[in-house]
Amino acid sequence: MKVTVNLIKESRIIEVEIDEGSTVREVLKKIGYIPQGSVVVRGEIPIPEDDKVKDGDFLTVYLVATGG
């Protein structure tokens, strides 16, 4: 199945092929992002990394900056 991912930091949108039943975490790993350093939004709602994605989903990925 395919999901569309809007990578805010990179200012680009990509399509990702993943297996049915895949989670947000698996999508992030496939595109090389660390789940703990990312916030994923579906529509206007942030979703947890263990949420399953559906064919045709449009996800927006924000990287979280931390420091001290």
Mean pLDDT within 44-58: 97
Task: Kindly indicate the confidence band of residue 45, based on its pLDDT and cuts at 50, 70 and 90.
Answer: very high
Q: Which residues contact 68 (CB under 8 A, 6 or more apart)?
A: none
Cβ atoms 6, 22 nearer than 8 A = no
A 10 A CB-CB count for 49 gives 16
Which stretch of DSSP H or E encloses residue 47? strand 45-47
- pLDDT at residue 49 greater than cutoff 70: yes
- Give the start-to-end residue ranges of the domains of the chain: 2-63
CATH class of 2-63: alpha beta
